[in-house]
Amino acid sequence: MSVEKKTPVAVLISGTGSNLQALIDAEAGRSYQVTLVISNRPNTIGIAKASQQNIPTLVIDHSLYKTREEFDSEVIKAIEAANITTVILAGFMRILTMEFTRHFLGRMLNIHPSLLPKYPGLNTHQKALENQDSEHGLSIHFVTAELDGGPVIQQASFPIQACDSVDSLKKTVQKLEHQCYPDVVDWLVTDKLKLKNNQAFFNQQPLLKPLQFC
């Protein structure tokens, strides 16, 4: 697939960027291209990695903005200036304003380390262990105004073993995340995936339950 035909996407990160790297590594044969990486934190590993690969990067340090609205509007401006309409959140640790989520509604995905609707927010691995869950996993969802609450598109799950720890769960989840996210981003940019009236559609059929990765 020629570069010209690929859809440019912006990836928003706050840290390591292992999902960002998985998306970049999987570009060949897919219809998206990461053409901008934005971090809300300076000196992240993710930004360093993207720069090394000659991908345009921007640090928009949230701590320099008085309000969430000002920060979000700066991020919107940067994405628009790069002529990008698709936004992929990959470990972006900021709550977005309604203005931001409205702006990219149906064009923005997030990956979350739990089987939503279980455990929105932080410390998902810890919560799964504390609750003695029998399984754990990840969810990829459309981003709406509700934190980690948009329609779920795909999940991947695995059984929790007696010997599992927060670290081991994190490792297993991330390995699966790297396998799942590129395809879902590809579905979005090729219009296989749509959001209408807060309902996800896959191949024009409403997704009555999340697709299962296996």
Binding positions for ligand GRF, rule: CB under 6 A: 13, 15-20, 46, 90-91, 111-113, 138, 173-174, 177
* Residue from 103, 112, 125, 141 carrying the catalytic annotation: 112
Using CA atoms, how far apart are residues 61 and 44, in angstroms rounded to an integer?
11
Q: Give me the least distance between CB of 184 and ligand GRF, in Å please.
A: 13
Beta carbon nearer to ligand GRF, 107 or 112 = 112
Q: Give me the least distance between CB of 5 and ligand GRF, in Å please.
A: 27
Beta carbon nearer to ligand GRF, 121 or 159 = 121
Beta carbon nearer to ligand GRF, 178 or 194 = 178
Q: Give me the least distance between CB of 111 and ligand GRF, in Å please.
A: 5
Active-site residue, 112 included: yes
Positions annotated as catalytic residues are 112
